[in-house]
Structure 1
Amino acid sequence: MTLRTRILVLISALVVLAGVATASVLHASARADRKNQTQPGGPRVTAGTVALTTGSGSRMIFRNMAWGPHRDELTTVPASNPSGPRTASKVKCLRFYAAAGTGVCLQSVHGPVQDTYRAVILDTRLRQTARYDVPGIPSRARVSPSGRYAAWTAFVGGDSYAGTNFSTRAAIVDTRTGKLTPSLEAFRVVKDGRTYHAADVNFWGVTFAADDRTFYATLATKGRTYLVRGDLLARTLTTLHTNVECPSLSPDGTRVAYKKRVPGLSKDAPWHLYVLDLRTMRETPLAESRSVDDQVVWRDDRTIVYALPGDYGADLYTVPSDGTGKPRRISTAAVSPAYVN
């Protein structure tokens, strides 16, 4: 047998072995998917129609984390039955929020070398109306109560709020005009009554008031975090309270729920949930003892909804906003909820 023939035989054998290995992997993956789709106790998910307005009662829309063909898709359930059967939309999001028939969906775009990210504005039927590049890994998303403004936060350095070596970009877009503010660093910061400048400022976790002008967010600088009140017309950010991260404004606009760093907790799980009365600046610790790394959602003026790690990636929990009661899991394999009517 000549050298050339030996080489050809070797190449043919390698091709056959590669084909067998690929087929084995695909077969195992398909078996795993079938198993996960029928796993006892797992949520039942079927394809259907999902809309951001219903006209027939409140619904919860969220990113489905259950394994199977609809993983990462936006799915919906009746708000009154959050653990019930799910209807999937085919629209995939890493982070999502919606209000007044407008949605913002933060997505990954898989590339040959690395993934990129984008923010997609959705209409009530989940059709894309605009798209914006996101400069890093998506983290938070919000829409104003009127649907006019959308905001998102991305990590552009580091990958966790728990550490200190990270950088973020918080953007706001006017969904009517398309005008984008790519970073809140363009706003003037007012701290202790004076204009504040620092090279290390970071912003994240935007939440909107109902007046289409006021919003709240987190400012980080010099190793501390602050709740800031933003003014979209004056383009200012004014500090209000210390040790506030990922604020979420109550529907009545009087309180902010947020995560607060508590001394003595692990550096990897340092937070406790609190609610701040914006008139009195009085803080109320909530009854959830676990560390929550999420921008919580208000189900109504009395109830907070948030995600914690679960078997599928994340589960949704609820707790009263007045510090009473106890946490209750309402949905498995779910994250990034929004309530629509």
Structure 2
Amino acid sequence: MTRTHRLIVLLAAIALLGAVAVGATLHAAGRAAEKDRTQPGGPEVRPGPVLLDAPGRTVFRNMAWGPHRDELTSVPAADPGGARTASGVRCLRFHSAGGTGVCLQAVHGKLRDGYRALVLDAHLHERHRYGLSGIPTRARVSPSGRTVAWTVFVSGDSYAGTSFSTRTSIADAASGGLERNLEDYRFFLDGRPHRAADLNVWGVTFADDTRFFATVATGGQTYLVRGDRRERTLRSVHRNVECPSLSPDGTRVAYKKRVAGVSSDAPWRLYVLDLRTLRETATAEGRSVDDQAVWRDGRTLVYSLPGAYGSDLWTVPADGSGRPRLLARAALAPAFPAG
């Protein structure tokens, strides 16, 4: 074989290997694109329009592997495990009410990554944008849709330990005005002014546009607090309450409570507090719930637990009866529009 022939054979082999590599890459990409639908037990996910105020639809973050992972998706409320419509909008944390959404996103830059909060209208169009100083963890919208809140970790990345710091902000969805840090509010512990360098606030849940509940941590204790934006105050209500969620009628708070005798890595159980009597009721969920539960209606709580795709949604009655039931696999951060 001449030198010219050897060169032709070498070039042909290189071209063949390149074609095989490209083909394999395209095949793998195609399989990844289909993974939402073909992986056993995985939900069907297809792109399409998503509205935050569509009656009879539930919106949540899709956790299924594939091209639509982390996108806000919509499903029929009557069939939460059914086919999903993916919006193209990606969120790490999400909530919506009154036709307004708050979406906490990762931002990938050339020099470094970061996070931001977007206030969205009912069509998922951006209304306001805010840079975040830490890792997104909680988000809520007031029932009217006029006020939004979010919490980020500014140090540490878990509520389970004690070496973490949070920052909670509240924004006006109409004007864009921002209260950057609720730690600037006056805190009253058992009716007395209390100042502490270790104060942390997280997990806002709104009663209306000016009144809310949240968690305050100080001195190694956590407290349910009642917040007032006009007075700029936080007043303690009950101990050992984290990530509260106010019921639709405003009379009860679902929350995660630390219980004794369990692993420090999984210390919480899901409880409900009657705000009139301060009577606590343990739900039938016996696993550790590290989430801010959502009220599906006046009787049922929805929350996330670890699953094969990262997170699944479960339900349990709020009155302590019944048992936990799987609502939707590969899902996180649900919102249930009224109507």
Report if TM-score (shorter chain) is over 0.5.
yes
C-alpha separation in 2, matches of 1:202 and 1:290: 26
CA RMSD of aligned residues (A): 1.9
Is it true that 1:134 corresponds to 2:125 in the alignment? Answer: no
* Corresponding position of 2:81: 83
* Corresponding position of 2:9: none
C-alpha separation in 2, matches of 1:70 and 1:151: 26
C-alpha separation in 1, matches of 2:307 and 2:224: 29
**Structure 2 CA distance for partners of 1:157 and 1:25, relative to 1, 3 Å:** farther
- Of all paired residues, the percent bearing the same amino acid is 64
SS in 1 for 2:40: coil
* Corresponding position of 1:288: 285
* Corresponding position of 1:44: 44
Q: Deviations over 1:16-67 (max 9, x none)?
A: x99999997776455444345411321001111101112xx32110000111
* Corresponding position of 1:10: none
State the AA in 2 paired with 1:40.
Answer: P
State the AA in 2 paired with 1:303.
Answer: T
* Corresponding position of 2:157: 159
Q: Deviations over 1:120-174 (max 9, x none)?
A: 0000100000001111000000000011110000001010011111100010011
Q: Deviations over 1:49-98 (max 9, x none)?
A: 101112xx321100001111111110001111111111111111001000
SS in 2 for 1:300: coil
8 Å CA contact 1:37, 1:67 repeated in 2: no
Structure 1 stretches of 4+ moved >4 Å: 17-30
Give how far 1:186 is off.
1.2
Is it true that 1:256 corresponds to 2:253 in the alignment? Answer: yes
SS in 1 for 2:323: coil
Q: Deviations over 1:246-273 (max 9, x none)?
A: 0000000000000000011101000000
C-alpha separation in 1, matches of 2:150 and 2:222: 18
8 Å CA contact 1:205, 1:245 repeated in 2: yes
State the AA in 2 paired with 1:309.
Answer: P
- Give the one of 189, 204, 207 matched to 2:205: 207
C-alpha separation in 2, matches of 1:19 and 1:138: 43
TM-score under structure 1 length normalisation: 0.90
C-alpha separation in 1, matches of 2:163 and 2:22: 40
Count of residues paired in the alignment: 322
* Corresponding position of 2:10: none
Matches within 5 A, 1:23-34: 28=28, 30-34=30-34
Is it true that 1:227 corresponds to 2:263 in the alignment? Answer: no
SS in 1 for 2:296: strand
State the AA in 1 paired with 2:255.
Answer: Y
**Structure 2 CA distance for partners of 1:161 and 1:26, relative to 1, 3 Å:** farther
* Corresponding position of 2:310: 313
State the AA in 2 paired with 1:43.
Answer: P
8 Å CA contact 1:44, 1:85 repeated in 2: yes
C-alpha separation in 2, matches of 1:233 and 1:120: 24
**Structure 2 CA distance for partners of 1:19 and 1:152, relative to 1, 3 Å:** farther
8 Å CA contact 1:230, 1:236 repeated in 2: yes
C-alpha separation in 1, matches of 2:18 and 2:284: 54
Deviates more, 1:30-39 or 1:324-333: 30-39
SS in 1 for 2:42: coil
State the AA in 2 paired with 1:285.
Answer: A
* Corresponding position of 2:8: none
State the AA in 1 paired with 2:70.
Answer: D
Matches within 5 A, 1:99-114: 99-114=97-112
**Structure 2 CA distance for partners of 1:272 and 1:128, relative to 1, 3 Å:** same
**Structure 2 CA distance for partners of 1:19 and 1:258, relative to 1, 3 Å:** farther
C-alpha separation in 1, matches of 2:207 and 2:19: 57
State the AA in 1 paired with 2:273.
Answer: L
C-alpha separation in 2, matches of 1:102 and 1:144: 9
**Structure 2 CA distance for partners of 1:21 and 1:303, relative to 1, 3 Å:** same
**Structure 2 CA distance for partners of 1:162 and 1:20, relative to 1, 3 Å:** farther
State the AA in 2 paired with 1:127.
Answer: H
* Corresponding position of 2:213: 216
C-alpha separation in 1, matches of 2:82 and 2:20: 41
Q: What residue ranges of structure 2 are gaps of 5+ in the alignment?
A: 1-16
C-alpha separation in 2, matches of 1:25 and 1:220: 50
SS in 2 for 1:311: coil
State the AA in 2 paired with 1:314.
Answer: S
